[in-house]
Amino acid sequence: MSLRTFKISISILLSIGITSTIFYHYPKQKGRNDFTNNLTVFNSDVIPVYTTDTGEKVVAGRELHEKLKISEKYADWFPRMVGYGFTENEDYSSFSEKSEKPSGGRPSVNHIMTLDMAKHISMIQRTPEGKAIRDKLIELDTNIESLSPELRLLIKLEVSQKQQQKALQETNDRIDRIGDVIALDTRSWRKDAHDLIIRIAQVRGGYDYIRDINTEIFRLVDSRGGVSLKTRLTNKRQRMADEGICKSKRDKLTQVDIIADDKKLIEIYMAIVKEMAVKYGATSKSA
């Protein structure tokens, strides 16, 4: 696309009320439709409207709920709206998103819906907010349909180009973060592993996941190392008891202490923790 064409498409977008294109990314979640993987902001005047990578215009359920000033909880309100005759994977798609609480927490359910569904829901609220949102969505629908096929193609190409640039940058950033994980200092392996496990838990939804993560790590250590950490832990506690070491010290012993006694297990343990950090995208300290 030439610079002149790029400027023309931007000018026309702004002239019909479309804001500058920025990227709005939802993390991929199992079971979600592909069209929710990457969204660009199409308009954010009255309510944010997004464009999918296939060019479809959509609205986020929780944002619509907020803009309509609904007092009812979203988890109760949205299923009630669906009862007006909407079909999942045709009119809307559900997905999970991370909690915004600093301490983490369970992921919350959100939805992406078509403009037609958003317009209908706005109309049945019978409120000033609902009317304003419905009118804006109708206006946006009309504006985009009035563009020539050539201009629509230019806009689509422009959005696609920006998405590719964004995807490339995200890939490069991820490679850099993976390099940082691989280069962890084995002399401080316990602290490094602990920090990574906390980051993995935060990505998965909060500190409640730490126990499950440790359980999975220890299971993999047993499998790869051909050992039973629990058996070794029991045996070591028994030896400590025979040596007259107090029960409180014996009880504080963990499977990580057993791993620390075996250099081979330390290497296996760190490799597994690193693999999990990469798998869940918990490779940056801000995760």
Q: What is the pLDDT of residue 265?
A: 93
Q: Is the pLDDT of residue 156 over 70?
A: no
Report the SS3 class of residue 93: strand
Indicate whether 225 belongs to any domain. Answer: yes
Does 83 lie in the same domain as 45?
A: yes
Does 186 lie in the same domain as 118?
A: no
Indicate whether 284 belongs to any domain. Answer: no
Residue that terminates a domain, selected from 160, 183, 213: 160
Does 273 lie in the same domain as 236?
A: yes
**118 vs 149, more confident:** 118
CA distance 257 to 245: 16
Domain span including residue 230: 174-279
Indicate whether 84 belongs to any domain. Answer: yes
Element (H, E) at 112: strand 108-114
Q: What is the pLDDT of residue 21?
A: 34
Does 153 lie in the same domain as 13?
A: yes
Spatial CB neighbours of 249, under 8 Å, sequence gap ≥ 6 = 240
The maximal CA–CA distance of the chain, rounded, in angstroms, is 86
β partners of residue 88: 92
Instruction: Count the domains in the chain.
Output: 2
Does 213 lie in the same domain as 80?
A: no
Report the SS3 class of residue 124: helix
Indicate whether 286 belongs to any domain. Answer: no
Residue that terminates a domain, selected from 105, 125, 160: 160
Angle, vertex CA 222, rays to CA 216 and CA 224, nearest 5? 100
Q: What is the pLDDT of residues 175-232, one digit of tens each?
A: 555 555 555 556 788 988 898 899 899 988 888 999 999 999 999 999 999 999 999 9
Does 211 lie in the same domain as 109?
A: no
Q: Of 13-22, 72-81, 143-152, 185-194, which has the strongest mean pLDDT?
A: 72-81
CA distance 101 to 108: 11
- Which amino acid, 266? I
Indicate whether 168 belongs to any domain. Answer: no
CA distance 85 to 103: 38
Does 190 lie in the same domain as 152?
A: no
CA distance 174 to 281: 8
**26 vs 241, more confident:** 241
Does 196 lie in the same domain as 95?
A: no
Evaluate whether 48 touches 59 at the Cβ level (below 8 Å).
Answer: yes
CA distance 48 to 118: 12
**36 vs 91, more confident:** 91
Q: Is the pLDDT of residue 36 over 50?
A: no
Does 154 lie in the same domain as 13?
A: yes
